[in-house]
């Protein structure tokens, strides 16, 4: 069950998208997200959808795998769609008790659901194809200008990448803890909400203890290698743009222009 959570994990295959510069992918994701909010018609979704399909195919990631990663989002998505559906005023086409469904509501809910799904799909494509290390250096250089305002850009980027790196480790750990407690007869699936919440205690406490231990060990290991933050730090593999990045940027600009001018 926990193995299904794949958001933010790196999917190790070889592809042109994986080889793209992390800055391209990071800025590209932002550009893609912006483009999602530029159009108002159905044709825009077709364009954005075609873009997503192309990138997924190029990245050699099974679409099923990404869709599985969206599953935890499903509840939130449905919740927001239902609200929009019932709360949008306009031409009434159906009424039941205190609920009214409007034509505008249906479209608004559909569009919002699709936008959100595209948004998560698009951004998870970035994390699937970029290792946490590369993502850090990409983010660091994209936000580098903030250093003028004394924002600790390097440290923030490092924190994000550590957090991403630890998602699978903690999931694995949770899995092991659950099994160890199940072996002692623990039951996480039956009973009411209170009983279920109580059943989480034997998982959460070992998980907390081990997270703190891991954090301490990581900090020590970083100190032992004289880590002192971003100042004066050079890179073993400096980021370099290639021709493929130029092509990617052109495609992204094409997407934005397309989204603006679509009917």
Partner 1 sequence: MSLILDKISYYYGKGTAFESKALKNISLSIPDGEFIGLIGHTGSGKSTLIQHMNGLIKADSGSVYYNGQDIYDKDFKMTELRRKVGLVFQYPEHQLFESTVIKDVLFGPKNIGLSQLEAEVAAYGALRAVGLPDDLIDASPFELSGGQKRRVAIAGVLAMSPEILILDEPTAGLDPAGRTEILSLLKSIKDEKGITIILVSHSMEDVAEFAERIIVIDDGEIKFDDEPREVFKHAAELRKMGLEIPQCTELMSRLADAGLNVDRSCLTTEEAVASIMNCLGRTGSD
What letter would DSSP give residue 161?
A: H
Q: Which is nearer to partner 1, 8 or 44 (CB)?
A: 8
Q: Which is nearer to partner 1, 31 or 55 (CB)?
A: 55
Q: Please report whether residue 233 would count as binding partner 1 according to CB under 8 A.
A: no
Spatial distance between the Cα atoms of 121 and 28, rounded to a whole number of angstroms: 13
* Side-chain half-sphere exposure of 85, counting CA atoms within 13 A: 15
H helix or E strand, kind and range, residue 26: helix 22-36
Can you say whether residue 181 is alpha, beta or left, with left for phi > 0 and alpha for psi between -120 and 50 degrees? alpha
Q: Under rule CB under 8 A, how many of the chain's residues touch partner 1?
A: 26
Provide, rounded to whole angstroms, the least separation between the CB of residue 53 and partner 1: 19
Provide, rounded to whole angstroms, the least separation between the CB of residue 32 and partner 1: 24
Q: Please report whether residue 202 would count as binding partner 1 according to CB under 8 A.
A: yes
Spatial distance between the Cα atoms of 190 and 179, rounded to a whole number of angstroms: 16
Which residues within the stretch 8-47 sit at the binding site for partner 1 (CB under 8 A)? Answer: 11-13
In terms of C-beta density within 10 A (0-12 exposed, 13-18 middle, 19 or more buried), how is residue 17 classed?
buried
Q: Please report whether residue 218 would count as binding partner 1 according to CB under 8 A.
A: no
Q: Please report whether residue 182 would count as binding partner 1 according to CB under 8 A.
A: yes
- Exposure string for 96-120, b = 16+ CB within 10 A, e = fewer: eeeebbbebbbbbbebbbbbbbbbb
Dmax over CA atoms of the chain, in Å, equals: 68
Helices (H) and strands (E) in the chain, counts: 11, 2
From 27-35, 62-70, 84-92, 118-126, give the range in contact with partner 1 by CB under 8 A. Answer: 62-70
Q: Please report whether residue 192 would count as binding partner 1 according to CB under 8 A.
A: no
Q: Please report whether residue 200 would count as binding partner 1 according to CB under 8 A.
A: no
The correct pick among 67, 76, 151, 180 for binding partner 1 (CB under 8 A) is 180
Q: Please report whether residue 184 would count as binding partner 1 according to CB under 8 A.
A: yes
Provide, rounded to whole angstroms, the least separation between the CB of residue 220 and partner 1: 18
Q: Please report whether residue 186 would count as binding partner 1 according to CB under 8 A.
A: yes
Spatial distance between the Cα atoms of 227 and 225, rounded to a whole number of angstroms: 6
Task: Write out the residues near partner 1 by the rule CB under 8 A.
Answer: 3, 11-13, 62, 64-65, 173, 176-177, 179-187, 201-202, 205-206, 209-210, 213
């Amino acid at each position: 069950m926990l193995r299904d959570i794949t958001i933010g994990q790196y999917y190790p295959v070889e592809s042109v998208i994986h080889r793209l510069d992390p800055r391209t992918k990071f800025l590209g994701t932002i550009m893609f997200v912006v483009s999602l909010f530029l159009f108002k018609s159905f044709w825009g979704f077709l364009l954005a959808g075609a873009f997503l399909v192309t990138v997924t195919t190029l990245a050699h990631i099974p679409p099923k795998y990404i869709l599985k990663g969206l599953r935890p989002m499903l509840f939130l998505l449905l919740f927001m769609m239902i609200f929009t559906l019932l709360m949008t005023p306009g031409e009434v086409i159906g009424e039941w008790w205190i609920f009214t469904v409007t034509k505008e509501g249906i479209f608004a809910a559909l569009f919002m659901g699709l936008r959100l799904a595209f948004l998560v799909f698009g951004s998870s494509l970035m994390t699937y194809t970029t290792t946490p290390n590369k993502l850090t250096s990409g983010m660091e250089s994209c936000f580098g200008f903030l250093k003028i305002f004394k924002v600790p850009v390097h440290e923030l980027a490092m924190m994000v990448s550590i957090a991403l790196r630890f998602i699978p480790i903690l999931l694995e750990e949770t899995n092991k803890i659950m099994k160890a407690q199940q072996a002692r007869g623990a039951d996480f699936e039956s009973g009411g909400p209170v009983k279920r919440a109580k059943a989480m205690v034997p998982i959460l406490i070992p998980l907390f203890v081990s997270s703190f231990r891991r954090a301490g060990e990581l900090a020590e290991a970083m100190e032992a290698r004289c880590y002192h933050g971003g100042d004066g730090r050079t890179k073993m593999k400096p980021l370099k743009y290639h021709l493929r990045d130029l092509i990617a940027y052109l495609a992204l600009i094409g997407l934005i222009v397309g989204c603006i001018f679509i009917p």
